[in-house]
Structure 1
Amino acid sequence: MIWMFIIGLLSGIISGMGIGGGTILIPALILFGGIEQHVAQSVNLTAFIPTAIIAIAIHWKNGNIKYKLAIWITISGIAGALIGSWMAIGLSSRTLRISFGIFLMIMGIYEFFRKT
């Protein structure tokens, strides 16, 4: 149970920073919690709601939100979430885990070589 607390705490910190708690939460739930990929992703999405609300409130208070951009990203994000959920349901847990791993590696490589 202490592992789940630590995993949740780290995930929340990462989420609050805007990095995406799922990069910590999903692999940690699979490795340390023995949870199936589909379940780990659903837990991540459920945990994302309150952390996102807190992060939005803080960023809104600090004036860090560009509303016109946020509206377009929200609309396209909803469409992408519907498509992605539909696709994930049809994939095996192994295929979904491999796809997620490849995605994390690509993003890691991108961030490593990105010029700031």
Structure 2
Amino acid sequence: MEWLTALLPAFFGAVLSALGMGGGGVLLIYLTVFKDVDQFAAQGINLVFFIPIAIVSLIIHIKNKLVDFKVAAILIPAGILGVFAGSKLAGSLPDGLLRRLFAGFLLLIAFKEIYSAFKKPASEEETNDGRSPAKK
């Protein structure tokens, strides 16, 4: 039965990631809260887990013409630098502080999303799905 409790967060984390919603939070919470894995190790496990998920999701998004390669080419170098800086920083912080920072970050995102959900659309050109017609 333990394998089932591991498969459920993995499945829902992958679904959320494919939707672009940061499913890693689900897996990190599962590993740190229910499996008592320290935060830094859980982040490493999470990253390894999401390599195949990201590849499959990227293939689907490219097939559906949802990837702007010009924007990606600009963002990727900054992301690579951020990986090194973030990994170095996370490795130097105590586990308890890292957990609190992660929790605080999740709360900030939650408050921002709740606030955004009740905000009126920026323009009347936006469609019901929240995307502007030009992005379709």
Band of TM-score, shorter chain: over 0.9
Other-structure match for 1:46: 48
Query: Is residue 3–residue 32 contact of structure 1 (8 Å, CA) maintained in 2?
Result: no
Letter in 2 for 1:13: V
2: CA distance between counterparts of 1:61 and 1:104?
A: 31
1: CA distance between counterparts of 2:95 and 2:73?
A: 32
Residue in structure 2 matching 1:65, options 64, 67, 73: 67
Query: Is residue 30–residue 40 contact of structure 1 (8 Å, CA) maintained in 2?
Result: yes
Letter in 2 for 1:71: A
Moved over 4 A (4+): none
Query: Is residue 16–residue 51 contact of structure 1 (8 Å, CA) maintained in 2?
Result: yes
1: CA distance between counterparts of 2:92 and 2:100?
A: 14
2: CA distance between counterparts of 1:4 and 1:72?
A: 36
Q: Residues 10-21 of structure 1 correspond to what in structure 2 (within 5 A)?
A: 10-21=12-23
Deviation at 1:5, TM superposition (A): 1.0
Q: CA RMSD for the aligned pairs?
A: 1.0
TM-score by length of 1: 0.95
TM-score by length of 2: 0.82
Task: Give the length in aligned residue pairs.
Answer: 116
Q: Deviation per CA, 1:28-63: give whole Å up to 9, x if none.
A: 111111211111111111111111001100000000
Higher relative CO (Cα under 8 Å, sequence separation at least 6) belongs to 1
Higher helix share: 1
Aligned residues: percent identity?
33
2: CA distance between counterparts of 1:43 and 1:21?
A: 13
Q: Deviation per CA, 1:51-99: give whole Å up to 9, x if none.
A: 1001100000000011111111111111111100000110011010000
Letter in 1 for 2:10: G
Residue in structure 1 matching 2:94, options 72, 92, 95: 92
Letter in 2 for 1:8: A
